Amino acid sequence: MASDTLRTADDLVAAGLVSPERRAEIDAVASRYAVAVTPEIAALIGGADDPVARQYLPQAAELNVSPQERADPIGDERFSPVKGIVHRYPDRVLLMPIHACAVYCRFCFRRETVGPGGEALNAAELEAALAYIRARPAIWEVIVTGGDPLLLSPRRLADLIHALDAIPHVAVIRIHSRMPMASPRRVAAPLIAALASDKALWLVIHANHAAEFGAAQRAAVARLNRAGIPLLGQSVLLKGVNDAAATLEALFRAMVANRIKPYYLHHPDLAPGTAHFRLGLEAGQELMRRLRGRVSGLCQPSYVLDIPGGHGKVPVGPCYAARDGDGWRIADPNGQGHRYPPGDGGE
């Protein structure tokens, strides 16, 4: 990554992002988990407690690991047949070509595996991962994630896309990235050209707060749009960052207004040292319920939980339909219940 990225307590203090008294605290966290703040993210930070700062500036609370937290919170390891592949569902695999990111999110669910030392798969490892995909015709979609795959050089990225293009049964390439938010200048012509594909290539952009949509970020998203790449949004529900209905509303409106369809709102995973970011499932459901009443359906992601232990991702509500005698009781967006009569569908 560019050398102007802030990586140490000294860097953060010098940039005026944290006060000098916090140097020891930041050093302690940084020796355990990777830290990186790009200049474009630093420019969005208004104060040490603002919603962008909370996502990226280390806090002592990260060193408190609670008993239910796990180094591998969503059980990827058990489903990794070869290095760089996670195959949990029959029709799709994760391909992780690189374990580094432009920025390091304090709540990251892969925080035990990502970091600046998390270099790319070497040529032989990447070839083995591709061979795994080639040999399995049931794999319809390849989800390229990491780390951040858009940290690969445009040349290596183009090679990877070409290799996937050449596999007949792969119909869809999906890339998950935080780069348009974290390092928008990198999302320039050479990188966008590398994404040209014969297959349907979808890009899922990770953003958690409307404040992340600064001018440079909006311009990067616009460049991706002009290249005809369909864009989806994924967000993590985070205490102190976006755990208010108005905040989520502003985030999803910002996505849709920038031609990004909100796809998933993730309930935070049980990653080590992230208890200060987690809220209850019930609080999450209540936020989703309020959102339903306030904003366009275009702005509604699915609220999902990745079940610890590797059992997969599922929507976790809220549910608007409940059995009511021989029919149903359906809640409207205001929480009012209405009867839906039994029909001819076997009820």
Which residue is catalytic, options 313, 320, 324, 329?
313
Angle at 309 between CA 171 and CA 129, to 5 degrees: 35
Asked about 319 being catalytic, the answer comes back as no
Which residue is catalytic, options 22, 54, 88, 178?
88
How far CA 95 is from CA of 119, 200, 275, 307, in Å, comes to 14, 16, 28, 20
Q: Which of 270, 180, 294, 276 is nearest to 233 (CA)?
A: 180
- Exactly one of 44, 101, 139, 220 binds ligand SF4 (CB under 6 A); which one? 101
CB of 324 to ligand SF4, least distance (A): 41
- Exactly one of 54, 110, 278, 289 binds ligand SF4 (CB under 6 A); which one? 110
Which residue is catalytic, options 7, 23, 92, 223?
92
**In terms of CB distance, is 78 or 162 closer to ligand PLP?**
78
Asked about 306 being catalytic, the answer comes back as yes
CB of 39 to ligand SF4, least distance (A): 17
CB of 215 to ligand SF4, least distance (A): 21
Asked about 92 being catalytic, the answer comes back as yes
Q: Counting contacts by CB under 6 A, is residue 267 touching ligand SF4?
A: no
**Residues 231-259 as b or e (16 or more Cβ within 10 Å = b):** bbbbbbbbbebbbebebbbbbbbbbbebe
Task: Residue 108: name its binding partner from ligand SF4, ligand PLP, none (Cβ under 5 to 8 Å by kind).
Answer: ligand SF4
Asked about 313 being catalytic, the answer comes back as yes
Angle at which helices 154-165 and 123-134 pack, to 10 degrees?
Answer: 20
What residues are paired with 314 via a beta bridge? 305
Q: Counting contacts by CB under 6 A, is residue 41 touching ligand SF4?
A: no
**In terms of CB distance, is 176 or 290 closer to ligand SF4?**
176
Q: How far apart are CA 339 and CA 335, in angstroms?
A: 13
Which residues contact residue 162 at a Cβ distance below 8 angstroms, ignoring those fewer than 6 apart? none
**Residues 300-311 as b or e (16 or more Cβ within 10 Å = b):** bbebbbbeeebe
Asked about 110 being catalytic, the answer comes back as yes
Asked about 299 being catalytic, the answer comes back as no
Count residues near ligand SF4 (CB under 6 A).
11
| Contact track, ligand SF4, 129-148, x by CB under 6 A | -----------------xxx
Residues found near ligand PLP in the complex (CB under 6 A)? 74, 86, 88-89, 92, 94, 143, 313
Q: How far apart are the first and last CA of the chain?
A: 59
- Tokens, residue 207: 């953003």
Contact indicator for 208, 234 with CB cutoff of 8 Å: no
Catalytic residue IDs: 88-89, 92, 101, 105, 108, 110, 269, 306, 313
Contacting positions for ligand SF4 (CB under 6 A): 101, 104-105, 108, 110, 114, 146-148, 178, 206
